[in-house]
Each structure stands twice: as structure tokens, then as C-alpha cells.
């Protein structure tokens, strides 16, 4: 009985600490990313994912880091994870469409851009620009 009581108290007091650690890792990752300290930021985003495996923003920022490091396969994996967690994440759809376009996958890029146009709030202008870019590159 006493053991259960102390276990319950431990859980109650450590839960806010876990939540704080989660947001702390992500915020530290953002700060490091803004300073172009990509390896350190990557570590912090990965730590955030350990505490919150559904952290779509951590996966999104990991994809941005891999983009800057020209690690396209890892970038794509992280963007796909964001899309699994939130199929309407405009930024992930846009960057995945751009990535597909850079790999000359015009069909997939066009499909993703069409999807982006359906859900866009903040990326509507970028979607229009991407459509032109896809059309110009697919004609060559």
C-alpha cells in the first residue's frame, strides 16, 4: 500500500518534468537551428522525439537540417514522417514536392502540389510558383 502511494507520487511529480523536458528540447533545437548549429539542433530535435514520438515539428526541422546537409534520403524520410503524422502539413507537402521536383519526379511533384493547393492557408503563393516551376521543368 505504501509502495503504491510513493509510486503514484513519483509519477505525479515527474510527469510535469517530462513535459517540460519535451518542450525544452524542442525550443533548444529551434534556438540552435536559428544559429546554424545544425548538428547540435539535430540532437535536440531527436531528444524531443524520444519524449514525444509524434512531434511533427521536430521531424520537420530534422528534414530542414538534412536539406542543408544535402542528405536527400534522410530529408525525404523525415518529410514522409511529418506527412504520416499530419497529412495537411503545408510546409511538409511543399518541401516534399520541391524535393521530388529536384529528383525530376514531375508526376509526384505535381500530385503533391495539387494536394497543397487543396489545404493551403500559408503556402498558396508558393504552390502557384511551384506549379509554374513544374510546368517549365517538365517541358524541357
Residues 10 and 67 in one domain: yes
For 88-109, the pLDDT digits (tens) are 999 999 999 999 999 999 899 9
Residues 25 and 11 in one domain: yes
Indicate the pTM of the whole model.
Answer: 0.79
Enter the C-alpha cell of residue 74: 534522410
pLDDT level of residue 68 (50, 70, 90 thresholds):
very high
For 26-54, the pLDDT digits (tens) are 999 999 999 999 999 999 999 999 999 99
Residues 14 and 74 in one domain: yes
What is the predicted pLDDT for the residue at 1?
62
Q: How many structural domains are present in the chain?
A: 2
**DSSP per-residue letters across 60-96:** HHHHHHHHHTT-HHHHHHHHHHHHHH-TT-HHHHHHH
Residues 62 and 105 in one domain: no
Q: Is 4 helix (H, G, I), strand (E, B) or coil?
A: helix
For 110, residues 6+ apart whose C-beta sits below 8 A from its C-beta are 131, 134, 138
Residues 31 and 1 in one domain: yes
Domain around 99: 88-140
67-75 mean pLDDT: 97
Amino acid at each position: 500500500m505504501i509502495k503504491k502511494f510513493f509510486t503514484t507520487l513519483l509519477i505525479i511529480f515527474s510527469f510535469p518534468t517530462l513535459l517540460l523536458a519535451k518542450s525544452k528540447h524542442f525550443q533548444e533545437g529551434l534556438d540552435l537551428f536559428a544559429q546554424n548549429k545544425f548538428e547540435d539542433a539535430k540532437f535536440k530535435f531527436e531528444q524531443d522525439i524520444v519524449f514525444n514520438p509524434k512531434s511533427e515539428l521536430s521531424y520537420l526541422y530534422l528534414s530542414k537540417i538534412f536539406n542543408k546537409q544535402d542528405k536527400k534520403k534522410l530529408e525525404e524520410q523525415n518529410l514522409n514522417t511529418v506527412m504520416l503524422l499530419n497529412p495537411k502539413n503545408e510546409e511538409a507537402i511543399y518541401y516534399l514536392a520541391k524535393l521530388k521536383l529536384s529528383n525530376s519526379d514531375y508526376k509526384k511533384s505535381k500530385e503533391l502540389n495539387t494536394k497543397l493547393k487543396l489545404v493551403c492557408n500559408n503556402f498558396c503563393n508558393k504552390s502557384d510558383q511551384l506549379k509554374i516551376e513544374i510546368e517549365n521543368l517538365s517541358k524541357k
